[in-house]
Amino acid sequence: MIEINNLSFSYDNQKQALENINIKTADRTITAILGHKGAGKTTLFKCIMGLLKPSHGLIKVNNMFNDMLPYDEYISYLPDKGGFYSLLTPWQNLIFRGSRHNKNKKEVKELASDYLHKLELNNMKNKISGMLSKGMQRRLALACTLINQPKILILDEPTNGIDQVSSEIIISILKELKHKCNSILINTHDLVLVGAVCDNIIVLNKGKLIEEKKVEDIGMNLRKYYLDVVDSYK
């Protein structure tokens, strides 16, 4: 469970990127954070991860304050760009990331093989990661995010700008993860992904939370619904 109370954040004490945000996610759910570019989505994720210190407010993850969390063992973050070492191979990236956690070598190797297989990267495992296609690189970044088997997953635009096949592979792994993780937050513009895996949506606009709804209550046209919500705040 992620609980955010009265969160505000300003860059350089000037520009208010987040204003009085309140969010509570339930266990075994996926929540999509939607909003146009500059709405504050990435800033929100960086606050949850402790990479930015809120100007005001509190964040709790599974009832622990976010600055007290044993991060590596608990929560994992897919940044909007990168997320792996370009000069290492996928296999080396996964072994390196996995061995940072308290797991033995055999277990790390098994997990690396498992994720390479699930994300359909097995025949690329010994190539230089920086040479892979954009979609494969995004799948690798996701595998690196998953190798510590986190209870809480924070994914910043997991399918942005990638090919259809990679998107579908990522969507299918998210469906599987939903039953394993306590909470998953995804910041995305990909409404196909939202319709396929998310339980709830939250819409940010210019740093404010303007809408919160269950996907099942929206009905068929998610895109029209989202654009109407954002337009009504112009």
Ligand X SMILES: Nc1ncnc2c1ncn2[C@@H]1O[C@H](COP(=O)(O)OP(=O)(O)O)[C@@H](O)[C@H]1O
Chain residues binding Mg ion by CB under 5 A are: 41-42
202 binds ligand X (CB under 6 A): no
Residue 145's binding partner out of ligand X, Mg ion, none, with CB under 5 to 8 Å set by partner kind: none
41 binds ligand X (CB under 6 A): yes
- Cα 134 to chain center, whole Å? 17
Q: Per-residue DSSP letters for 52-76? A: S--SEEEEEETTEEGGGS-HHHHEE
Give 42 or 89: the residue with its C-beta nearer to ligand X.
Answer: 42
Residue 125's binding partner out of ligand X, Mg ion, none, with CB under 5 to 8 Å set by partner kind: none
159 binds ligand X (CB under 6 A): no
Q: Per-residue DSSP letters for 223-234? A: HHHHHHHHHTT-
39 binds ligand X (CB under 6 A): yes
Q: How far is the CB of 114 from ligand X (least distance, A)?
A: 31
> Which of 2, 4, 17, 153 is the binder for ligand X (CB under 6 A)?
17
Q: How far is the CB of 145 from ligand X (least distance, A)?
A: 18
Give 28 or 36: the residue with its C-beta nearer to ligand X.
Answer: 36
The structure tokens listed for 150 are 């986190």
> Which of 11, 131, 134, 161 is the binder for ligand X (CB under 6 A)?
11
Give 11 or 65: the residue with its C-beta nearer to ligand X.
Answer: 11
Residue 38's binding partner out of Mg ion, ligand X, none, with CB under 5 to 8 Å set by partner kind: ligand X
The structure tokens listed for 71 are 């991060």
Instruction: Name the one residue in this structure whose structure tokens are 């619904």.
Output: 225
- Identify the burial level of 84 via C-beta atoms within 10 angstroms of its C-beta, where 0-12 means exposed, 13-18 middle and 19 or more buried: buried
**Which residues 6+ apart lie within 8 Å of 155 measured at CB?**
77, 78, 142, 145, 184, 185, 186, 187, 188
Give dist(CA 178, CA 198) in Å, integer. 9
Residues in contact with ligand X by CB under 6 A are 11, 15, 17, 35, 37-43
